[in-house]
Structure 1
Amino acid sequence: MEITLATLHVRRSAQAVPLAAGCLAASLPKPLRRKVRLLDFFPDQDVATVTRTILDGKPEMVAFPVYVWNRVQVVAIARELSRQAPSVRLVAGGPEAGGDPHKLAATAPWSALVLGEGEESFARLVEELSANDDPTPEIPGVLFPGFSTALTSQLQPPLELDKLPSPWLSGLLAPTPEGGVVWEVSRGCAFGCDYCYEAAGHQGVRSHSHQRLRAELELFTQIGVSQVWVLDATFNYPPQRGVDLLELLLETAPQLHYHLEAKADFIDPQTASLLSRLSCSVQLGLQSTDSKVLSAIHRHLDLDILSEKIHLLEAQGVIYGFDLIFGLPQDSYSGFIRSLDTSLSFSPNHLHIFPLAVLPGTRLAQQRNHHRLVAQTEPPYEIIRSPGWSEQDLLRSRILATAVDIFYNTGRAVAFFPALLELFEIEPHQLFDELTDWALQQPDIDQAMLLASDLWNAHDAYRLQQGFLSWRLKQAGLSHLTTAVLDLLCYHFHYAEALLGPELPFASDTEREPADLWTTPWIRSTQLRLVPFAYEVLDLQEMDEMSFAEFVELFRPVGSTALFLRQGGEVLCESLSDEMLRLLKESDGRKTPEQIFSGSLNQEIGRELVAFAVAEGLLHCRT
């Protein structure tokens, strides 16, 4: 049987890894694995294109993992596949199949739905279909539309993870050099939050063996993967499990960058210390900072404990971010902005804000009448209104969330945001309200554009910051501070760009000792950033110790040009002398240093300047 496992991803990104499809394919007997084709699709591809690509492989079965973000398009694809190739068997799985299987079953001519963890169920289904066109409707974990079997009898118990083959080690998923991987460390969750189906059907965490995890890490290292998204709902619960995982990462693949999800309550000094030795970021799901709101969805937060745990991370220099949800039961717009202000008072590296989704199969969906929630009945299942939330409040929250995403997250504002709040003497939500009011008055920005925060890049956010803050300073009668504020923005923008950009390699031995440094044409490395400032950049680096008003009183805008680069994992920012700036700017691969300076610089000093620039990798021979 020829099988196609088709994954429609949420977007094109390093995280677009067909992990579910790979796990299903790996679960099949080896003879059947060879008949599996994994295909990746994206929202910008239309139904006709996807259908044609799938049918080009002449499959006998097509299976889809179905999620909130792809359900509508997957259903449309399934219908078109059935129309063009009615003999092809269509199978659906994933969270949408498990959350409300009978509703999904009615949307398209599905042959079967795989519920819950699907490896064993899918393998059994494929084996039966390979041997028999009419499989028994009694396969655990499989629902056959048209049969009136009670759903509860179809549920598959949690699988023993040690029995499941790795899609990475089996070669069904292939990591790529400098690419990203989505790495499953465990399944399940020890916590039962009402809005989430991570622990649906059971509570508790099952971890993959360290033997398997080590082998996968060694593979990622061998291939040269750059980023790893760790799939573990709470990697640090219980704390010793988190410690063991971090020690494994440090021992096996310390050079990779990891994205982890943690619960703040269980961060301890040992965990914070281990995190500091890794290249990583940690996401902490607060959802709200109001204990009454959290209690209504079976969560807990003590702000004093949170403060203590965040201090541990900050003391170790660990990058962390928060999650918030607006639209929660027992919450309101005023409560949401309090949570926003409280969250930003900790200066997280980023703050992700989402609308409440009443997902099928969750406790919240079962209690929607109790909470009097009105939500969408189709994906993305977002809240429409409730006793505490009017539709206008939810729209205001959505606009506020996108303002945070653009200005704070994409604009990488964490380093200078507290200084802005102090300067304007306002709370975070007030600054973002003013930002949205100003932005919507600009001729090139409307509400739809503002809400499409995914379309904004760092350069867009930087230009928005420049325009808004120039206006805000003028409104506050602080125009005399504008140059200093814009210089600080410029410094942090280019620092972040250098940090996230390519490394500058040191020069090779052959370039360090050419026949004659002075008469060799050099070309400036493309990894360098030469950035002009109104103030001396070294003075700007002192601004953390003083207010904007104190800075302007103490320093004058004498002008400087800074060099930004990343080398050896560190960002370097240096103020350039006039001679070094001239050398770097005019080294275009045609002119020699002798021609650039044409007698204006002592040759001995000039040779030392060139030797330094070449040795540091700032200049190289044209190839």
Structure 2
Amino acid sequence: MTILLSTLNARYAHASLGLRYLLANMGPLQEQTTLMEFVIGAKTTELVERLLAKQPRIVGFGVYIWNVEETTRVVAMLKRVAPEVVIVLGGPEVSHETDKQEIVRLADYVVTGWGDITFPKLCGEILHGPKPLMKIHAGVQPPMADIQLPYALYSDDDIAHRTIYVEASRGCPFKCEFCLSSLDKTAWPFGIDSFLAEMDSLYARGARLFKFVDRTFNLNVKTSQRIMQFFLEKIAAHPDEPVYAHFELVPDHLPEALKATIAQFPPGALQFEIGIQSFNPEVQTLVSRRQDNAKAAENIRWLTTQSHAHLHVDLIAGLPGEDVDSFARGFDQLVALGPHEIQFGILKRLRGTPIIRHTEPFGMVYDPYPPYTVLATDRIDFATMQRLVRFARYWDLVANSGRFNHTVKALLADSPFASFMAFSDWIYTRTDATHRIALEKLARLVQQWLQLRGMAPAEAAALLASDYAGNVDKPARQAGKPPHSAAEPRKPAAPERQVRHLAA
């Protein structure tokens, strides 16, 4: 193949939608272009060997916050052993602050932003002339109708074993400064008829797990209704073949018509990812986030009580202007609303995002290495931020894992945040670890903590047994939650929702 399209995914299950878009839009060059996807953690020499075995003239890499360090090593080695191979970079991580990145220095060309038209054009110039003079090429945004949809490029193996990422629109009209989508002018929809025809084709080929990466799925309610109706019809026609659809929702925009449609979905068919990020109005204003908190809370409460949808709701710690007490109040408020999972994320300074304007006024200190996590602010010192990081990890292991559904309620008897922070501090003193804690050991520690808090040993054991049915390795499945193998991993290797949609 003359042109290789490659990236390092966070996991094997994360098939790259972005690379498939590029391949679908290569035009006359498509026949001499192929995909080679890898997974982070692989040995650099092996990746380079496999790439060069195809004898490419051009290698295009999708570069993201979770793979930039490893991709930099791959590019550096390629340039040493095969300097004649032309390296082209694209993706959100190299679309901003290009002058500050080692991977950009090593590469031959960079396409920033939209690559659907610009990347094939650049490849044609590299292969056939005239040779491009500029290193950085700003991606041209084509009309949405001119973009070839990539879904036929998911292989049968992808459909059988990997998450099928899809998008009915690109962009976002909101301006939340911690998100790269704040740079978009608006949201641009694909033609709904052609999009649904592609979804029908995927379904006919056996796809049953659809993850929408639209930033604002419910922005246009008529479009949302048509897409959801598509899935309802499939469920009605084939009740023995479960369908699972994942959407990101704007929390304060849930009109009655959309509620009526959502209420029709059976258990295990629907997951909503909802970004609250902060319930503090002053913090929301600082980061240009428009959100009706009362309406958002009302909608989350409705979804938890009146629908079978599984709710995954996000909060971000470390935003400018927010101290621990403010975050704790928001966390307690969200726990009271009863979502199935709360993703407790720590702020990341994504390249190009306007959040940088708050760095000096609010003493924001960020890790210089990916994923650029905030280390301290003028409201939260480094030691406290590390406690929050551990809280987030233990919360994932205990509350979000689905293994302690009954027990976790006892852990949150008083203020949920204060109670779990005390547990988090204690368990860290006992383990000095946040990873590689065996499930059986974790269960014992949870029981010990409950006893330290005054629960009788027999009662604590019975509570854990209600989750584990007497076997720590066979936790009871969370009601209404799809099997873990049929859903996006609860704790992705990539960072939280703040950057997760960049996988597209």
TM-score computed with the length of structure 2 as normaliser:
0.86
Kept in 2: contact 1:24–1:119 (CA 8 A): yes
Query: How far apart are 1:103 and its partner, in Å?
Result: 2.2
Alignment partners' CA distance in 2, 1:502 and 1:439: 26
Alignment partners' CA distance in 2, 1:172 and 1:484: 47
Query: How far apart are 1:240 and its partner, in Å?
Result: 3.0
**Does residue 1:188 correspond to 2:171, yes or no?**
yes
Query: How far apart are 1:332 and its partner, in Å?
Result: 1.4
Alignment of 1:86-97 (within 5 A): 86-97=83-94
**Does residue 1:350 correspond to 2:319, yes or no?**
no
- Secondary structure of the residue that 2:337 maps to in structure 1? coil
- Partner in structure 2 of residue 44 of structure 1: 41
- Residue identity opposite 1:34 in structure 2: E
- Partner in structure 1 of residue 189 of structure 2: 207
- Listed one character per residue, the Cα deviations across residues 4-61 of structure 1 (whole Å, up to 9, x for unaligned) are 111101223x3x112111111111124x212112111112202111111111111100
CA RMSD of aligned residues (A): 2.7
- Partner in structure 1 of residue 58 of structure 2: 61
**Does residue 1:244 correspond to 2:226, yes or no?**
yes
Distance 1:127 1:344, change over 3 A: same
Query: How far apart are 1:376 and its partner, in Å?
Result: 2.7
- Partner in structure 2 of residue 135 of structure 1: 131
- Partner in structure 1 of residue 464 of structure 2: 486
**Does residue 1:98 correspond to 2:95, yes or no?**
yes
Structure 2: gaps (5+ residues):
237-241, 486-504
Distance 1:333 1:210, change over 3 A: same
Distance 1:356 1:94, change over 3 A: same
- Listed one character per residue, the Cα deviations across residues 499-532 of structure 1 (whole Å, up to 9, x for unaligned) are 65599xxxxxxxxxxxxxxxxxxxxxxxxxxxxx
- Partner in structure 2 of residue 338 of structure 1: 329
Distance 1:208 1:172, change over 3 A: farther
Q: Determine what percentage of the aligned residue pairs are the same residue.
A: 22
- Secondary structure of the residue that 2:60 maps to in structure 1? strand
Query: How far apart are 1:121 and its partner, in Å?
Result: 0.4
**Does residue 1:372 correspond to 2:363, yes or no?**
yes
Kept in 2: contact 1:291–1:300 (CA 8 A): no
Distance 1:66 1:106, change over 3 A: closer
Alignment of 1:161-176 (within 5 A): 161-169=144-152, 175-176=158-159
Alignment partners' CA distance in 2, 1:413 and 1:238: 37
Alignment partners' CA distance in 2, 1:461 and 1:306: 35
Kept in 2: contact 1:221–1:253 (CA 8 A): no
- Residue identity opposite 1:59 in structure 2: P
Kept in 2: contact 1:357–1:381 (CA 8 A): yes
- Secondary structure of the residue that 2:290 maps to in structure 1? coil
- Listed one character per residue, the Cα deviations across residues 166-194 of structure 1 (whole Å, up to 9, x for unaligned) are 22235679742254201122110010110
- Partner in structure 2 of residue 516 of structure 1: none
- Partner in structure 1 of residue 495 of structure 2: none
Aligned with 1:428 (options 390, 397, 416): 416
- Partner in structure 2 of residue 150 of structure 1: none
Kept in 1: contact 2:4–2:34 (CA 8 A): yes
Look at both structures and tell me which one has the larger radius of gyration over its CA atoms: 1
Alignment of 1:269-418 (within 5 A): 269-278=256-265, 279-313=269-303, 314-414=305-405, 417-418=408-409
Query: How far apart are 1:439 and its partner, in Å?
Result: 2.3
- Residue identity opposite 1:19 in structure 2: L
TM-score computed with the length of structure 1 as normaliser:
0.71
Distance 1:216 1:461, change over 3 A: farther
Q: Which has the higher contact order (CA 8 A, sep 6+)?
A: 2
- Secondary structure of the residue that 1:410 maps to in structure 2? coil
Alignment partners' CA distance in 2, 1:34 and 1:82: 25
- Partner in structure 2 of residue 514 of structure 1: none
Alignment partners' CA distance in 2, 1:297 and 1:335: 15
Alignment partners' CA distance in 1, 2:376 and 2:155: 44
Alignment of 1:536-547 (within 5 A): none
Query: How far apart are 1:288 and its partner, in Å?
Result: 1.2
Query: How far apart are 1:93 and its partner, in Å?
Result: 0.4
- Listed one character per residue, the Cα deviations across residues 372-392 of structure 1 (whole Å, up to 9, x for unaligned) are 322133321111222112111
Distance 1:339 1:160, change over 3 A: same
Distance 1:156 1:486, change over 3 A: closer
Alignment of 1:107-146 (within 5 A): 107-132=104-129, 134-137=130-133, 144=135
Kept in 1: contact 2:89–2:104 (CA 8 A): no
- Partner in structure 1 of residue 502 of structure 2: none
Aligned with 1:71 (options 40, 44, 68): 68
Kept in 2: contact 1:179–1:226 (CA 8 A): no
Distance 1:63 1:498, change over 3 A: same
- Residue identity opposite 1:368 in structure 2: T
